[in-house]
Amino acid sequence: MKFRFDAAAATVAVIAGCTACASEAKTGAPATTTASTTPAPSAATPEAPEAKIRGALAGTVRTDKERARDGARHPTETLSFMGVRENASVLELWPGGGYYTSILAPVLAERGKLTITHFDAKGDPKAYDTKSTLELFARLDKNPEVFGKVARQQIATPSVNFGAPASYDFVLTFRNIHNWVEGRFADKVFAEAFRVLKPGGVLGIEEHRGKPGMSVEAIDKTGYVPEDYVRQLAERAGFRFDARSDVNANPKDTTDHPNGVWSLPPSFAGKDVDREKFAAIGESDRMTLRFIKP
């Protein structure tokens, strides 16, 4: 299957019925709610090193396109909500072009560890998966002063192996779950994330938020995923839901675009068709969730 990282038009699929999924109302202001009044385990409670995050945001390895997306992606607030610590071991799943990698790498460089998953760099040279991996590797190799300590874990889907059990404090994923659903291996990814996290470890998720009741085929077509569906995947793997935030919510996003989420920036799959309209909407409405491995 072909992974799409905020790019390419959606494929046509037939929408079938499925179990309805409930989701919480979207708000325009950042908000956080927790599943219980008890404190989260130790991996989630310390605040993120915000000064280091802000320093990473100003780093020279970041591109102008990445900086332009900061206002929509709220990286400082997102990583702070997830609880990332500078001394943590972090696994970032399928980082795409490296938007978050360029932030996490300098934050973790001195006291922590960052590992990223990727596809086979020696695969089909015409395949998107291979090209995106080679582009990411070229970026990392060009800037060893920032990315030199980043470890790389190759994944050959649909089989999934993230390494030794109980080896990470955090597993983070940003706008990837729709790809796993389309590939029909989402359950495997969540189960593997659970296996490699330490007890008390955090699974942090940011994903395009779809309407309740969407079928799997509708997820394939649009790139949006119902929030309850994500929670079901995580809880089925053994995770405990801990908290959600609306820091990445966008109430302007109706989620019913002709090319799915890829109609919106930064993809603009429709090119010049209604470009101003989609630019005014901005990036997608996204859920931001935190789960704990008991």
pTM of the model: 0.86
Q: Is the pLDDT of residue 11 over 70?
A: no
In a domain, 262, yes or no: yes
| Tokens of residue 25, six digits | 């109302």
In a domain, 11, yes or no: no
pLDDT tens-place string over residues 136-166? 999 999 999 999 999 999 999 999 999 999 9
pLDDT given for residue 32 in this prediction: 62
222 vs 227: CA distance, rounded Å = 14
pLDDT given for residue 43 in this prediction: 44
6 vs 229: CA distance, rounded Å = 20
CATH of the domain at 91: 3.40.50.150
Q: Is the pLDDT of residue 70 over 90?
A: yes
% pLDDT > 70, the chain = 84
Ramachandran angles phi, psi of 12, nearest 5° = -85, 135
In a domain, 240, yes or no: yes
> What mean pLDDT value characterizes the chain?
88
Q: Is the pLDDT of residue 198 over 80?
A: yes
Q: Rounded mean pLDDT of 103-115?
A: 97
| Tokens of residue 158, six digits | 């649909």
Q: Rounded mean pLDDT of 169-176?
A: 98
* Domain of residue 275, residue span: 32-292
Q: Is the pLDDT of residue 8 over 60?
A: no
Q: Is the pLDDT of residue 282 over 90?
A: yes
Block residue for tokens 């922590």: 112
Sign of CA dihedral 61, 152, 203, 128: positive
pLDDT given for residue 33 in this prediction: 63
* Residue 186 per-residue DSSP state: H
265 vs 269: CA distance, rounded Å = 9
In a domain, 146, yes or no: yes
Q: Is the pLDDT of residue 30 over 70?
A: no
**CB burial of residue 199 (10 Å; 0-12, 13-18, 19+):** exposed
DSSP of 246-284, one letter per residue? -TT--TT--S--TTGGGGSTTT-TTTTTTHHHHHHH-SP
Q: Rounded mean pLDDT of 180-208?
A: 98
Contact 79, 103 (CB under 8 A): yes
Q: Is the pLDDT of residue 37 over 60?
A: no
pLDDT given for residue 42 in this prediction: 43
Q: Is the pLDDT of residue 1 over 80?
A: no
Q: Is the pLDDT of residue 29 over 70?
A: no
Q: Is the pLDDT of residue 193 over 50?
A: yes
| Tokens of residue 23, six digits | 């989701």
pLDDT given for residue 24 in this prediction: 39
pLDDT given for residue 41 in this prediction: 41
In a domain, 155, yes or no: yes
In a domain, 13, yes or no: no
| Tokens of residue 14, six digits | 């037939």
How many structural domains compose the chain? 1
Ramachandran angles phi, psi of 6, nearest 5° = 55, 40
pLDDT given for residue 49 in this prediction: 81
Q: Is the pLDDT of residue 114 over 50?
A: yes
In a domain, 7, yes or no: no
Q: Is the pLDDT of residue 15 over 90?
A: no
In a domain, 21, yes or no: no
pLDDT given for residue 34 in this prediction: 58
Contact 177, 193 (CB under 8 A): no
pLDDT tens-place string over residues 214-250? 999 999 999 999 999 999 999 999 999 999 999 999 9
